[in-house]
Structure formats: C-alpha cells, structure tokens
A and B are shown apart, each in its own frame.
Chain A
C-alpha cells in the first residue's frame, strides 16, 4: 500500500497540473474585425456605470448584421466607462464617454481613433454633442460631481475646449435651429429645472431662457423650424419614497415657436414622463418613449397620443434617417447584453440583434 501511495498522489498532482497548463493556453478567441463602414449606423451601448464595459456596435444595412465591440477591436483598447451618446459630424464620430471624462473621436468609416479629448482638454462629464460648423461644436457637460453645468465650445481643429457657457441644472440634449442652439436643462442631482436655454452660435452667449416645463431632457427641430421638447416632469417622493402625487408634476411634450412655448401637452401619468424624443428625416413625425411604450405624433397634432405605436420598453430610441425605420434598444439589466430592434415606420417588427450592455441610442 505504502509504495503505491506516492504514485497515486503524484498521478493526481500531474493530472491537476496538466489541466492547469491546458487552461493557461490560448483558447483561440479572436476579436471580430469589422469591415470598413459603407452604409450603416452606430449603436451606443452605455454599459453599467463603474464597470468599464461600455461598447460601440455598428449596424450594416447592406449585410443586415451587427458588429459588436467595434471601438476596442479596431483600436485595441476598451472604450471606457458609461458612454452617454455619440454623434456623427463631418465624417467623424464623437463618442461621449461620460464617466471616463472623455470624448473619443473616430473616423466614421473605419472606426480608427483620431483624437481623445480628456480632462486636460477641458472635458469633465460630457453628455451630448452638437456640430455647429467646420471649426466648432457644442458639448453639454455636467462637471465634476454634478456641480458645474455647462455647454462647452470645442475647437474642432485642436480638439480643445475654448469656452464654457454656464447653463441650468444638468444641461442635456442640444438642437440647432439657424444660428440658435437650444439646450434642455433636464434637472438632476436632487434639483429640478424647467428651462430651455438659447445660445447664439456666433457669440457663444445665452440669449434667452425659456420656461417650458419640469425637467426637459430631449429636443428636436421639425420641418417648420419649431423646437419640440420632451420633459420628464418632476417626481417628488414622500418620506417612504412613494410618489407624492400632489407635489409632483407630469411630464410633457411642448412646442417652441419663435422662442415662445406655443403648445404644451401633459402626459396623463405622473412619474413616467416622456423621453428619447426623436424625429424622422423629413421632420414630420415625432417618436418618443413613455410608460413602457413607443408613441408616435405628427408635428400637426395638438393632443398627447393615447395609444403606443410599439408596446415595448426601450432605453434607447432612434429613427433611421435613410429608411424611416424605428430603432429601439432594450436593456434586460446592466449585466447582460441588450437587444437592438428594427421596426417599420408603422411599428411592425423587422428584426432584432444582440448588442452590448444597455443600448441607449443611435448615431447616423
């Protein structure tokens, strides 16, 4: 017995060791390398805050397929933490990675990195990007710890912040109409805001502050040059965190004409405000998310729509400017990959695709 003992033990150890060695070997995983972009758009996967797992996906219209993780597979490094948005301007993609305090600039067509704007260039907590002209862009930014809300003027030749324009609480989405930029002050950090600010793009100065409704977060410009604003309303909680219906205000959709609120439609439910307001390419139809569905509205409508076009809860919403398809990003949770859905403009499902974690929007 005794003399076999060691043999058994050594055998056991050698088995364990060989398993260990094989585990160390490369398991042959190769990253997907996308082809150069011909005809498609980007899907922004926000990732889970603090988990460094934000990614960028690309939908190729011709191949009808999604390529995930394009930023890191092309550029050899992870994208960062919590991408809030991306915009395409002048054949460049501007990726606003909010918790990484940076903007990654990539070539629209081959996804290669052009520049990274970080804290040294003046970026702190970037939200949304708006290209103004060949030399200049605006970026809304929440500042360190949500203390210093600005629209930052970016020099597109040097990729540096050249001016900070103070805004209301939590400046969010931006829209350009003529030489005026509209800024939705969406409220946050326990402080609501109810204004849309107007900035003159020639002077980079605030020219007007319009009171629209509580916590406006997204806005678009329609075919007639009107500004449409979606706001979440202000949800006030009781001490036990139940909603205080009396003090809360409902969300809304509003229309701004000539810097005046021309129309305001309140949402029927408090605490579930409309968001993700987008518009089709001819500027005639609005889409937004509300109460677990996607709603459609003509720019001629004057009442809040009553039934959803698509009964699905989307975190991100978009309209393909080329085809008019409605695009939705679904988030099962923040550990798991999300799903990207395509619908016809009348709300019929075309197909769905797996994307990264928490798809929150699209860039065309």
Chain B
C-alpha cells in the first residue's frame, strides 16, 4: 500500500509541476474559500483536506450531552465506547483509538500516558464549533494525527455589547439530569463568557443479559460531572486580540463490569483536569501573527475497590508561535514553531518520572498554480529530546472543475510517537520498551466535492472520497516471554475505503423548511505485515471494532416554531477478535426529537425539547458485553436572552 501512496505522490507532484509550468495570470480567487473556523491552519492551509464541521443543528440537539454522543450520532466517525458514560474514543479512517487527535483551541488533548482522550469527558455545551479533519495531517498538527483530527473551539464571544445568557435544565430516564448556565458580557473591546454545568446519570437501565439469560439492570454505570469554562477577550486596538481561557472539570465515573461478569461492580474512576490557554493575535498589513501558551494538568484515580487505588498525574505545557504571510493574491506562506513539554507521575513508572521536550518547526505554502488549481505544500520536522523524528511532508491539491464541483487530493506522511506507558511502564507481567520506534504512515486521498444552490430555496452539498492510509511500525503489546508483555513495533496496517456524504437545506415556504444530512463510510483496515513477536494468524484480518459499513443520517423539518428531527445510525458488523472469528452484530438505531421555540419577545426565548432515544427499542451492544439502554426519554428546557 505504501507503493500506491508513493505512486499517488508522484502523480500529484507531476500534476503540480505541469500546472506550474502552464501557469497563467488570473485574478480569480473564487476557489479559495474559508472554512468557518478560527484556526488559520485548518482554514487556509488544509487545501485538499476533507474537513467536515458538525452542524450547528446537531450541536444544539446534543447540547446537554458529551462529545462521544454527539460524534456517534452526527459525525462520520467511528466512536468506540464502553457503553453510555463509559470510556469513549474516536477512530477516523480505520485507524486506532490514539490515531485521531483531539484539539481544543489548537492544543492537542491526547494523553501523554496512553495517547487518547475520553470523549465522554467533553461537554458539548462548552464547544461552539466541532470539525472533523479526515486523513493524516501531521505536517500541520504533528504526532498522533494519522487518521485525522477533531478540532474543538470555544468561541463564545457575545456579538453585541451587554449581557447575554442561557440556562439549561434537562432530565431523562435512568437518573439522567443536566443543569447548565452560560453567561456572557461584552463592552466595546472587552468580553467575558462563563459557562458551568453539573450533570449526573445513574444509567441503571434494564437490559436483557444474553450472558445470563435474564433481564437485569445495569449496575455501577453512573457518572457525576461538574465543569467550568471561563473565557475572556480583550482587543486593545484593531490589530491585537488577546484571550485567556480556562477549563476545569471534575468527573466521577462508575466503571461497570462487562455484562458477562458476575458479582457486584464497584470500580470508580475520578478524572480532574485543568486546561488553560493564553492566546495573542496580531493582524498585520500582510500577515497574521499568533502565539499561544497552554497548560494542561490531569489527575486520574482509578479505584477497583480491591487493590489500592492507582493514581497518576500528567502535565503538559504547549507554546506555539505561528505567522501567516500574505505574499500576494496567489501565494500564502505559513510558518510556525511549537514547543511541547510533557511529564507524568505514575506509580507504574517506578522511580522514573518521564519528561519529554518536543520542538517542532512547520511550514506551509499555499499557491494558486493555475486558474482553478490551488496547491498546499506542508512540512514539519520535530526534535524530540534532541533527536530528529520522521520528516513529515504533505501535498494537497484543490481543482475547481466548475463553480460548484471541485476535485481534491492529498498525500501526507504522518507519525505517532510512543506513549509514556509504552516506553516506561514497569509492573508484574508488563514492561515498557524504551527502544520503540514511532509509528509512521502515509495517507492519500482523492475526492470530489459539490456544493451549490440550484434554486433560491435549495442549498445542497455532497462529497465523495476514496482514501488509502498505511501505518507502519504499529505499536502493540505482545507476550515476549512466558510471563512478560511488552510493546513492540509489531505490524503494518493498511486502511482504505470510501466515504460519501451529503447535506441539503430546503426552504419550502417561509414557515416550512427542511434539512437533511447523511453519510456512508466503507472501511477496510487490515494487517498487512506482522513483525516478529506478533501473531501471524492475524495477517490480512480486519482490525477489531472497525465496522466495514457505517451509515448515519439526520433529517429535520421546521414548521413555524416547531422543529421535528429524526436521526439514524447504522453500524455494521464489527470483529471483536483479531483473528476475526467473533462478531459484534450490526445495529440500527433511530432517535426522534421535537423542539418548540417560544419567542417571548425579541430578546427572550424559551426552547422546549422532548427526545425519544432508541425509538425502535433495539437491544444492542457497542462493545461486546457493554449493552446500551432501550427506548428512553429526555426533556429539556432552555431559557436564553440576547443570544
């Protein structure tokens, strides 16, 4: 598969050389359109990338849930979950759970200890924009972005002077409740916004336990969360913007047993984290300079109530400075420098407290090669504790066939550095491996995108993409002796497939409108090479918990003050074992929602929403032994002013 990626790189490179030689003057820049996200990197230099924002409708529908549920229902991504309120991670394009990085305000939130982020611990109400970036994006965003990235932005700036606010109250079955308060204030060049929430769920839903052949209630599956997000903005003049954001959250998650287990589950996990970021931006005449520094601290306690609790702390400090130069109408240059310091204090690292310093230099150049063909060339080089890590080039092309049809392509190299657990774990039966190599990969894709407004009443867009993504030196834990497990660079994985998505908005009358969104993904992700120490029987087998087929759709109709919505989720059969002999069966889940917008006056509004989840009352598991609730109801009421 690497061969294909290389060939594709040559094809793209050749195409670029040809078009550069055929370059002609043009004043048309119509093909350069901005993705509505504040990060210039994603908006300006991800040419050829497939970037899909989660709709504001979906974010509104899921405001009192977490990112895992939002993405599971409304995004073309594979969410792997240990059930409702359980550990949830995301995978894009057939990669592993730590190959899709999650960025908040441009800061990578992947844990230095295990390489992933629990999406259940991200409240949707704290995020104003959620976007998925598909395919490797290492040249722009660094390690761990082999399948793609999830970008989160908290941009709750009030639009006009004065106060605004929003109050949420939600209740649902199985002890589910959520109370949230957002309030903002703006006066001229100063703005502040504070959001807080408290949320609990018992998740003691009844389910038919196929392992015990009887009806049971899920036990020890509750969650209790409190969080605060404060943002402040200041622009001393038209050139400068300064912002400070602070996010604190306290989570207590009860960890249920696998449904096949007997006895009482008592394990709990407490996650407390602090995340702060200071941003500064200067708008020059021909450039935009951005700098930020962020501090992240995470404290995790896992207590199985049998042995003594295991406690770990991790901290990272990320500083980045980047500049976007506007050279002329057709050429942009982007350069950045990132310093990341990570450390962790974990009982199972023995006396060793790992520390890691990473300094990365990244450059991107975006140009209009000929009329309608734009290209973006990126590169990144990182020094990790003085050692050079793999060089990451990328090339993206965007060709406007017509005003509404676009061809896109990208080839990029990516990598992921080993986690602290992989490197430094010491314990009975398991030992980290300090000589692990980073995982490296190539990803390439070709897509066609269409968007347009065939009539005044209809807006539609669609995108179809084929992709190929290889990851070499994939890190896995394997038994190295009779009683010792260690991670090694065990295999090579080839993920490939196709994605189709569509979006439609139809305004029938001024009172009646409809929105439709859908996507289908086919993913084949197989192990193509097994190195020594791995299991040869897994060769050419599909990765576990990676469905071949996934289909998600949502539709909603607005009539006057009412919005009726339906969302559907189909996840195909998934393999549970690496040798592909055990299957988690497919499931089809539908949710229905009805919202009433009550406009008290132009300033004050009340939104009342009723929701029927799993409307067809299907029994299903998202992971073997992790059942999901049957039909359940949620009611929420939102009061807002000056929004």
Distance, CA A337 to CA B636, complexed state (A): 47
The answer to the question of B352 belonging to the interface, with a C-beta cut-off of 8 Å to chain A, is: yes
B199-211 interface mask toward A, CB cutoff 8 Å, 1 = contact, 0 = none? 0000000000011
Residues on A with beta carbons closer than 8 Å to the beta carbon of B538 = 332, 336
A324-351 interface mask toward B, CB cutoff 8 Å, 1 = contact, 0 = none? 0000000111011101000000000000
Number of interface residues of A (CB under 8 A): 67
Of chain B, the residue at the smallest CB distance from A275 is B482
The answer to the question of B285 belonging to the interface, with a C-beta cut-off of 8 Å to chain A, is: no
Q: Is A81 touching B625 in the complex (CB atoms < 8 A)?
A: yes
Of chain B, the residue at the smallest CB distance from A292 is B482
Q: Which of the residues A15, A68, A102, A240 comes within 8 Å of B352, measured between beta carbons?
A: A240
- Size category of the binding interface on chain B: 35 or more
Stretch at the interface among A118-126, A151-159, A170-178, A204-212: A118-126
Distance, CA A11 to CA B177, complexed state (A): 43
Of chain B, the residue at the smallest CB distance from A147 is B306
The answer to the question of A80 belonging to the interface, with a C-beta cut-off of 8 Å to chain B, is: yes
Contacts of A39-84 to chain B: CB distance below 8 A: 50-53, 68, 77-81
Known contacts A78-B211, A336-B537, A354 near B259 by CB under 8 Å: no
- Minimal beta-carbon separation of B249 from chain A (angstroms): 26
Q: Which of the residues B264, B519, B578 comes within 8 Å of A335, measured between beta carbons?
A: B578
The answer to the question of A6 belonging to the interface, with a C-beta cut-off of 8 Å to chain B, is: yes
Known contacts A19-B522, A100-B261, A240-B350, A335 near B544 by CB under 8 Å: yes
Stretch at the interface among B93-101, B157-165, B568-576: B568-576
Q: Is A5 touching B454 in the complex (CB atoms < 8 A)?
A: yes
Distance, CA A190 to CA B352, complexed state (A): 22
The answer to the question of B548 belonging to the interface, with a C-beta cut-off of 8 Å to chain A, is: yes
Contacts of B256-285 to chain A: CB distance below 8 A: 257-264, 266
Known contacts A6-B454, A12-B464, A335-B544, A241 near B305 by CB under 8 Å: no
Residues on B with beta carbons closer than 8 Å to the beta carbon of A267 = none
Distance, CA A100 to CA B462, complexed state (A): 48
Known contacts A313-B482, A354-B537, A190 near B307 by CB under 8 Å: yes
Q: Is B211 touching A80 in the complex (CB atoms < 8 A)?
A: yes
- Minimal beta-carbon separation of B583 from chain A (angstroms): 8
Q: Which of the residues B260, B431, B502, B582 comes within 8 Å of A80, measured between beta carbons?
A: B260
The answer to the question of B615 belonging to the interface, with a C-beta cut-off of 8 Å to chain A, is: no
Of chain B, the residue at the smallest CB distance from A55 is B582
Q: Is B351 touching A9 in the complex (CB atoms < 8 A)?
A: no
Q: Is A12 touching B462 in the complex (CB atoms < 8 A)?
A: yes
- Minimal beta-carbon separation of A25 from chain B (angstroms): 10
Residues on A with beta carbons closer than 8 Å to the beta carbon of B458 = 6
The answer to the question of B549 belonging to the interface, with a C-beta cut-off of 8 Å to chain A, is: yes
The answer to the question of B427 belonging to the interface, with a C-beta cut-off of 8 Å to chain A, is: yes
Distance, CA A12 to CA B352, complexed state (A): 56
Residues on B with beta carbons closer than 8 Å to the beta carbon of A116 = 213
Q: Is B624 touching A118 in the complex (CB atoms < 8 A)?
A: no
Q: Is B502 touching A53 in the complex (CB atoms < 8 A)?
A: no
Distance, CA A125 to CA B305, complexed state (A): 16
Query: By CB atoms of chain A within 10 A, which of B259, B261, B426 has the most?
Result: B261
Query: By CB atoms of chain A within 10 A, which of B258, B450, B477 has the most?
Result: B258
Residues of B within 8 A of A (CB): 210-213, 257-264, 266, 304-307, 348, 350-352, 402, 404, 426-428, 431, 450, 452, 454-455, 458, 460, 462, 464, 476-479, 481-483, 500, 502, 504, 518-520, 522, 534-535, 537-538, 544, 548-549, 551, 570, 572-573, 576-579, 581-583, 586, 588, 624-625
For the A-B complex with A8-B450, A102-B262, A239-B350 known, give 7 more contacts whose Cβ atoms are closer than 8 Å.
Answer: A9-B460, A12-B462, A17-B520, A100-B260, A101-B261, A101-B262, A147-B306
Which 6 residue pairs of A and B lie closest in terms of their CB atoms, listed nearest first?
A: A101-B262, A52-B625, A332-B535, A240-B350, A241-B426, A52-B260
